[in-house]
Amino acid sequence: MTGEERVSWAVSDPAVGLITTEDARLALTALAQPGSSPVRAADGIRPAVGNPGQVTVSSVNTGVTVQPFQMLSTPRRGPGSYVQTLGRAKDIDILKGHPASSTADRTDLIVAVQTDTFYGDTTNTFEVKQIVGGVDTEPVGAVRLASILVPANATAVKPENITDLRPPNVVALGGVVPVRGRGDLVGLAAYPGMTAYQGDRQWLTVNDGAGWRVPSIPVCTSLTDISAPYQGQLVVNYADGLVYSYDGANWVGVVATGSGGALHEARYEVGTNQSFPVQVDTPVVFSAIVYQSPDVRRETTRDRFTLLRGGLWHISFSLRINAPAPGGQPGEPLVNAAFYEAYMAIVNGQDLSARYTHQHTDRRVHIPTSISCSTVRRFDAGAQVCGILWNAASQNRTIDRNFNGANSISLTWLRP
């Protein structure tokens, strides 16, 4: 048998045992999350309830408490993985035996150390202990759990001076690996099908051999959260209230959800009165904001709107205009009544003669005009629109502000 061919689990001999502690560790390795080679397990802490291995300030504020944990750790001098256990919380007094310096800061470490007589050590122990900065030498192969800054003249350990250095979580072969964030994914020896739970985003991510992919429809606050998108992937961006689809090169917003407080519709009302000259295409001024959209910019003239997102839009426009003459009888015969004409349109804000939709009406002179129009059509980003009113009456017309909610324009982005 060559040096690379180990005794299999489990074979034996009636007289002489064949399986060494290394063979036993290698058998355990076969059941653990893969590491950097086909016969190595990943190093790290086994996830469990509580916060395994966390180092916090103890009830005696001159020390720290290390929470119980189990950890897989590869020996630096042999194959396989140790299974190391801290069975209950351990208190370590940082300052009692080693008070702070009166002149200089120091940084201590909390480490886990394994010794093994198989490799010539004098003991077989697993110990979690303090390494005093500037005094103790850190043992070779020690696993760091935390660092603790001890400022000059410190009399207590403060939470903000503890830095978490624990290794990542490890699980059984095929298990879902809890990771704290995307940075932990980089350190995994990933294989196709490996699945991780990304705690900072609360989603599952799967490695396909080329990168970490997020299946289903994840919710994010930035599209950069998706490190390796695939063509056709859908993502809900809570920050801007859009569902995005990846086209193989870029993220494209496809559906507005209204989530995250980001509306993709805007509504404005006239707010103040306006006079409309006879037989003149007059843009309507909308001075009152009902609600706004990041997709729409109202220009300083307040009578034109620039669409900042290209795609399919729904635009609606309505007005109620005062009648030219008071009085009159609702039942008055039409043959005796005078009429006036009103016309409205949604038009190109840079060319009022370019009409997208319009509406026309004739009214008896003593009846206010209620008129509206709408359009659903595609606009390029940067297109400008406005609403105009034209009338043929005996004198200039004004807005009937008794129905101010009806004097409005709404602009809604529907999809690309």
Q: pLDDT digit string (tens) for 60-91?
A: 899 999 999 999 999 888 888 999 999 999 99
Q: What is the pLDDT of residue 139?
A: 93
**CB-CB contact of 309 with 253 (8 Å):** yes
Percent of the chain with pLDDT over 90: 62
Q: What is the pLDDT of residue 337?
A: 53
Judged against a pLDDT cut of 80, whether residue 404 lies above it is answered with no
Q: What is the pLDDT of residue 144?
A: 97
pLDDT tens digits for range 153-181: 999 999 999 999 999 999 998 899 999 88
pLDDT tens digits for range 185-200: 988 989 899 999 999 8
The mean per-residue pLDDT over the stretch 21-43 comes to 88
Distance between CA atoms of 104 and 112, rounded to whole angstroms? 26
Mean of the per-residue pLDDT values for the chain? 89
Judged against a pLDDT cut of 60, whether residue 331 lies above it is answered with no
**CB-CB contact of 36 with 28 (8 Å):** no
Cβ atoms within 10 Å of 7's Cβ, excluding its own: 18
Q: What is the pLDDT of residue 247?
A: 94
Judged against a pLDDT cut of 80, whether residue 378 lies above it is answered with yes
Judged against a pLDDT cut of 60, whether residue 327 lies above it is answered with no
Task: Tell me how many helices (H) and strands (E) the chain has.
Answer: 2, 31
The mean per-residue pLDDT over the stretch 272-276 comes to 88
* All domains in the chain, ordered by first residue: 21-164 (no CATH), 177-261 (no CATH), 265-415 (2.60.120.40)
Q: What is the pTM of this model?
A: 0.59
∠258-260-261 over CA atoms, to 5°? 65
Q: What is the pLDDT of residue 2?
A: 43
Structure tokens at 198: 């990304």
Distance between CA atoms of 196 and 227, rounded to whole angstroms? 14
**Between 257 and 232, residue with greater pLDDT:** 232
Residues in CB range of 349: below 8 A, 6 or more apart: 283, 299, 304, 305, 306, 384, 385, 386
Q: What is the pLDDT of residue 1?
A: 37
Most confident of 8-22, 346-360, 389-403: 346-360
Name residue 378's beta-bridge partners: 312
The mean per-residue pLDDT over the stretch 15-27 comes to 80
332 pLDDT band, cuts 50/70/90, is: very low
Judged against a pLDDT cut of 50, whether residue 204 lies above it is answered with yes
3-state DSSP helix/strand/coil % of the chain, to nearest 5: 10, 40, 50
Query: Cα 291 from chain centroid?
Result: 25
Distance between CA atoms of 202 and 216, rounded to whole angstroms? 13
Q: What is the pLDDT of residue 11?
A: 67
pLDDT tens digits for range 105-152: 999 999 999 999 989 999 999 999 999 999 999 999 999 999 999 999
Judged against a pLDDT cut of 90, whether residue 405 lies above it is answered with no
